[in-house]
Each structure stands twice: as structure tokens, then as C-alpha cells.
């Protein structure tokens, strides 16, 4: 078995960590947790994401085997995105991260306020 060291700059796990640590990835995976969605549905549910960024995020997730893209012949063509088994396995750790952020948001906002007042300009 290969021993991966994410602290080594040449370790391929760094790219995976970059992907799953990206804010758009977290939001796309969370949004797809409810089941397959079309591109426009994803865009509508993820406030602030541009079409370009959603496209890039979905392509990266598909490349890494975390999302599948299914094209259905229709007029117009229907394209659905869905989490793979590997993508679904990310739901729990990403939900834990989301829960942590919600739990600590008040203290983080307080710290930011204190920092902006105390930090030298």
C-alpha cells in the first residue's frame, strides 16, 4: 500500500484536498446531497456562484469521480448531475464542517471585529 504524505508538496492527495476544501465544492456536494439536479437548478440554489465557476467545479468533481453527469436525449437536451458513491461519502465530513462553522460563527465574527479594531493599519 502506498503511504501518502499530504504535507509533501508533491503528494497527489494535495490536489484532492484542494478540491474538497474549495468553498464551491462544499456547496455543490451539499446541494447534490438531496439527489440529482440540473445545472440551472444547482445555479439557482447556490447563491453567488457564477456559471463559469459552477462549470469548473462540476468538471473537477466529475474528473475526480465524485459527481456523474448524465445526458438525456430530449429537446432541449437534459443534463443531470449526481453524487457518486465516493461523492456521497463526502457528505458526512462536509456536514460536520458545516455544523462546526455554524456552531462557532458567533465567536469567529466577534474575533474578526476585535481584530479589525485592534490591528494596526
Range of the domain at 45: 13-118
Asked whether residue 1 is assigned to any structural domain, the reply reads: no
Categorize the per-residue pLDDT at 119 as very low, low, confident or very high, splitting at 50, 70 and 90: low
70 in a structural domain: yes
| Per-residue pLDDT reduced to its tens digit, 79-117 | 999 999 999 999 999 999 999 999 999 999 999 998 988
Is pLDDT above 70 for 121? no
Domain with residue 96: its CATH number is: 1.10.10.10
Is residue 72 included in any domain, yes or no? yes
Per the domain annotation, does 55 fall within a domain?
A: yes
End-to-end Cα separation, the chain, in angstroms: 51
Question: d(Cα 77, Cα 57) in Å, to the nearest integer?
Answer: 21
Number of domains in the chain: 1
| Entry pTM | 0.84
Residue 99 placed within a domain:
yes
Query: What is the number of other CB atoms lying within 10 angstroms of the CB of residue 28?
Result: 27
Amino acid at each position: 500500500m502506498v503511504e501518502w504524505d499530504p504535507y509533501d508538496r508533491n503528494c497527489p492527495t494535495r490536489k484532492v484536498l484542494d478540491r474538497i476544501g474549495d468553498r464551491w465544492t462544499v456547496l455543490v456536494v451539499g446541494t447534490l446531497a438531496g439527489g440529482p439536479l440540473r445545472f440551472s437548478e444547482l445555479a439557482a440554489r447556490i447563491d453567488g456562484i457564477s456559471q463559469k465557476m459552477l462549470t469548473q467545479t462540476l468538471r473537477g468533481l466529475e474528473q475526480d469521480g465524485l459527481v456523474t453527469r448524465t445526458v438525456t436525449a430530449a429537446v432541449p437536451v437534459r443534463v443531470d448531475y449526481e453524487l457518486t458513491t465516493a461523492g456521497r461519502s463526502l457528505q458526512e465530513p462536509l456536514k460536520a464542517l458545516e455544523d462546526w462553522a455554524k456552531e462557532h460563527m458567533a465567536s469567529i465574527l466577534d474575533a474578526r471585529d476585535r481584530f479589525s479594531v485592534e490591528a494596526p493599519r
